[in-house]
Structure 1
Amino acid sequence: MATQKTISPVDGSVYVERQQAEPAEVEAALARAVTAQRAWRDVPLAERARFCSRMVDAFVARRDEMAEELTWQMGRPIAVAGGEIGGFEERARTMIALAETALAPVELADKPGVTRYITREPLGVSFIVAPWNFPFMTAVNAVVPSIMAGNAVILKHSAQTPLCAERIQQAFDEARLPEGVFQHLHLSHDATEALIRETRVAHVSFTGSVPGGEMVERNAAGRFIATGLELGGKDPAYIRNDVDLDAAVDGVMDGAFFNSGQSCCGIERIYVHRDIFDAFVERAVAWARQLKLGDPTDPATTLGPLVRPSAADFVRGQIEEAVAAGARAWIDSGDHPLSTPGSAYLAPQVLTDVDHAMRVMTEENFGPVVGIMAVDSDDEAIALMNDSDFGLTAAIFTRDRIVGEALARRLEAGTVFTNRCDYLDPELAWTGVKQSGRGCSLSRIGYETLTRPKSFHLKHA
């Protein structure tokens, strides 16, 4: 029996060990899910909502305990780790509330002698593969709406955050959800691929890397099942010359460095109008310098480690390569003694004199670094923002709401913001373009990917 180990980025210790499911356990879970879903699909929507609401109540009751576990599993500073439990609650309760209208039958005008309508039917068993960087909030995007739609769920969480799957299971168990409607499994990569190929799985939701999304597509190919893929990002922001400079710096820099930059929708490249470029950079560098890199279990820490040393070394390599090509690095890593090669702890970095020939401006960083370029016009900014293989979110900072909205319409991204970034509103569709993925979660529209339409044409006798 294979064992998976969670190495904490806090101190390199083994924090969690779990046995991965054997084929017999996977088969048993699938059988339970299929049987449970046949009964669950007939449970009235209001009753499904009561079960899910009780789950949320049980979940948030353990906020402090789960926040501490989150810090040790993936390194987020304890001062902000509890915010993810709040995000889980907001998304879950929003999707519960939206289900009534999203899943309501589409009523059509009767034709003479014929009644017509369209229902939203559950797909069956939904297999959800969740990542480590926002382990609760990414999972809930699919788990709660899948169950509200009448599906059964099997959740496979990252080996870095196995306790997150167990905590969701615990909350559903306390809510007395019928057995088999929600289950979690600790799985190897091979077992994960095999489960995607399983004919009893009718839907796959995956959040992770582009290669991971390609893996899902390969294994789901030929079965014509629904898949939702939320993949990488290289999200840009544009700072126009009419902004409140201090507010723009605070907003965009937090969007770049929160969670040590380990966010698929974090800002990784900033374009600033040349008129205010120097003033913006001065403030941005000062903002980054006040970050405290340290032990994330210390409430005073504002920048925690990356998930593992190899991730930090990958970002170090991008920075070193950019500097060698002419970029200017504004932060002295010597000011952060923990930031040494081979360590998960990485000093924040702000780069200027960068361009799109550098990997740091085109390749996903997933770390605490941001490149800043000067532009001479709105058109130049939009062209550079769209010059990417990714398209998850993009942000424009401006005092002019009309111009901001017009520019946002030209951006190739699933979500566009003005005067904020790195934010998810669960009433809006969460989706990406290009290599950021396909499909949609959250909002009323998100329910369409978790159900299939069934048309009724009832001719009167």
Structure 2
Amino acid sequence: MPIATVNPANGETLKTYEAMGEEEVERRLQLAEATFRTYRTTGFAERARLLNRAADLLEEDERDAGRMLTTEMGKPVKQARAEVLKCAKAMRWYAANAEALLADEEPAETDVKDSGASRVRVRYRPLGPVLAVMPWNFPLWQVIRFAAPALMAGNVGLLKHASNVPQTALYLEDLFHRAGYPEGCFQTLLIGSAQVDDVLRDERVKAATLTGSEPAGRAVASTAGEMIKKTVLELGGSDPYVVMPSADLDRAAEVAVTARVQNNGQSCIAAKRFIVHTDVYDAFAEKFVAGMKALKVGDPMDEETDVGPLASERGRDDLEELVDDAVRSGATALCGGHRLRRPELPGWYFPPTVLSGITREMRIHREEAFGPVATLYRAGDLDEAVLIANDSPFGLSSNVWTRDESEIDRFVRDLEAGSVYVNGMTASHPAFPFGGVKRSGYGRELSGHGIREFCNITTVWHGA
């Protein structure tokens, strides 16, 4: 895949970049290692000052940065600007909280005495250069939620971004440079996927984090395992959205539309499988389909657009194949179902789609639909709802709509997911851990859990 900005709204190639050669990659690895030796010794106050300055600059760039995201991957510009501001918020959160999150810990005095020590501390120390392999769907947010905690912990970052968002990748390096970070603290590696393995094998790279496809995760995890390096993986999801009879149906249906089509439906934590109790299935389906039909599909630069194009032609084609397979196998398209063919929208558009009659044999039951396509399931009772929800290789997040406390307890206990959102849609927040189970990956981003992922957790023991 070429490293290029291709506007998804019209298919026009705007700018193409040459991949960095071996000499330039080597220069950047040397710089990362050298910078880490000194940056690791900076205090939290200095790290916070730098990160807050980067947040200031990001907020100043809100409109231009938002348009850049929309141009490169097609999200509605309103959502792009919201992503920019969300990144600044997360940076400020880590600037304010990292010192407390990484403060030395003192074990219980009885355990200290039992060990024969006069004092024991647990200290969090940085690891070194961390490689981040990041996706295109949230081009700023995915990177910042790695970079902010990594930099506050005293690590330095190496970014291999998706090949279709090179301007965003270069912007991020420039952002940290303008904020005053020492050269080498955060660098973009403008390289293709085939070069990732060599970088990860380099002894100067101490750990890696990846958000992306399952095959990409397997490749990184395999190499990291061979080299015995720490990794965090977030590999997508097919999140269930369960609606029970006691739910506020109007609100559940309204939120369901947003939960499915946010970011043009290209979100790992978007609700994708809508599992509805049979007693309210028909009423919910009617409201949900009406909401999906009412969405405005169009130019992502238009402030009124709800759904823009998919980020790539291949992504649009892959989504269409999933829908076609389901319909051929007996599913019914309650709305949408075919790519848009409108002269005024020449890009890679796919309309909001709702499919019913899904069976286990259909590919869309097992695979992640990365676009504005929802699948509807009818559940006879709570037990069946849980079975359908867990009948997926993924386990990133989940959504449950019910006013029954016993049902809430049951879902929280039994759903196989990294998060359970009750009467609301999944969203990431810097204060809360984010990640999944099963093929959605392992490890956690954000919160104190995320910042400690790339730390050397060191026991310091003092003799009596």
After TM superposition, the score normalised by the length of structure 1 is 0.95
* Partner SS, residue 457 of structure 2: strand
Q: Deviations over 1:181-231 (max 9, x none)?
A: 111111111221210111110010111000000110122232221101110
- Unaligned 5+ segments in structure 1 are none
Match of 2:10 in 1: 11
Whole-angstrom distance in 1 between the partners of 2:312 and 2:4: 13
Are 1:448 and 2:452 matched, yes or no? yes
Are 1:358 and 2:362 matched, yes or no? yes
Whole-angstrom distance in 2 between the partners of 1:349 and 1:324: 16
Change (3 A) 1:385 1:335: closer
Counterpart code for 1:193: D
Change (3 A) 1:83 1:21: same
Whole-angstrom distance in 2 between the partners of 1:396 and 1:310: 32
Match of 2:65 in 1: 66
Match of 1:106 in 2: 105
Match of 2:190 in 1: 186
Match of 1:56 in 2: 55
Counterpart code for 2:88: E
Are 1:380 and 2:384 matched, yes or no? yes
Answer whether contact 1:56 1:89 (CA < 8 A) is retained.
yes
Match of 1:121 in 2: 125
Whole-angstrom distance in 2 between the partners of 1:44 and 1:230: 30
Whole-angstrom distance in 1 between the partners of 2:352 and 2:358: 17
* Partner SS, residue 206 of structure 2: strand
- Equivalent of 1:239 in 228, 236, 243: 243
Q: Deviations over 1:262-285 (max 9, x none)?
A: 001111111101111111111111
Greater mean deviation of Cα atoms: 218-227 or 229-238: 218-227
Change (3 A) 1:187 1:139: same
Q: Deviations over 1:240-263 (max 9, x none)?
A: 011111100011221111112100
Are 1:153 and 2:157 matched, yes or no? yes
Aligned length: 459
* Partner SS, residue 135 of structure 1: coil
5 Å-filtered alignment, 1:59-458, equals 59-108=58-107, 109=109, 111=113, 114-332=118-336, 336-338=340-342, 344-458=348-462
Counterpart code for 2:373: V
How far off its partner does 1:80 sit? Answer: 2.2
Q: Deviations over 1:147-202 (max 9, x none)?
A: 11111111111111112222222221121111111111111112212101111100
Greater mean deviation of Cα atoms: 16-25 or 56-65: 16-25
Greater mean deviation of Cα atoms: 422-431 or 279-288: 422-431
Whole-angstrom distance in 2 between the partners of 1:114 and 1:22: 54
Counterpart code for 1:435: R
* Partner SS, residue 222 of structure 1: helix
* Partner SS, residue 23 of structure 2: helix
Whole-angstrom distance in 2 between the partners of 1:342 and 1:301: 16
How far off its partner does 1:375 sit? Answer: 0.8
Change (3 A) 1:227 1:30: same
Q: Deviations over 1:367-396 (max 9, x none)?
A: 111110111111110011011100000110
Answer whether contact 1:396 1:408 (CA < 8 A) is retained.
no
Whole-angstrom distance in 2 between the partners of 1:119 and 1:238: 42
Q: Deviations over 1:399-440 (max 9, x none)?
A: 234532431221100111111123112211111101000111
Instruction: Tell me the percent identity.
Output: 33
Change (3 A) 1:277 1:120: same
Answer whether contact 2:211 2:235 (CA < 8 A) is retained.
yes
* Partner SS, residue 238 of structure 1: strand
Answer whether contact 1:268 1:361 (CA < 8 A) is retained.
no
Whole-angstrom distance in 1 between the partners of 2:243 and 2:344: 33
Answer whether contact 2:320 2:338 (CA < 8 A) is retained.
no
How far off its partner does 1:19 sit? Answer: 2.1
Q: Deviations over 1:266-312 (max 9, x none)?
A: 11111101111111111111001111111212222211111112211
Give RMSD over aligned pairs. 2.0
Whole-angstrom distance in 1 between the partners of 2:34 and 2:279: 64
Whole-angstrom distance in 2 between the partners of 1:113 and 1:427: 35
Answer whether contact 1:74 1:161 (CA < 8 A) is retained.
yes
- Unaligned 5+ segments in structure 2 are none
After TM superposition, the score normalised by the length of structure 2 is 0.95
Answer whether contact 2:339 2:350 (CA < 8 A) is retained.
no
Are 1:44 and 2:43 matched, yes or no? yes
* Partner SS, residue 106 of structure 1: coil
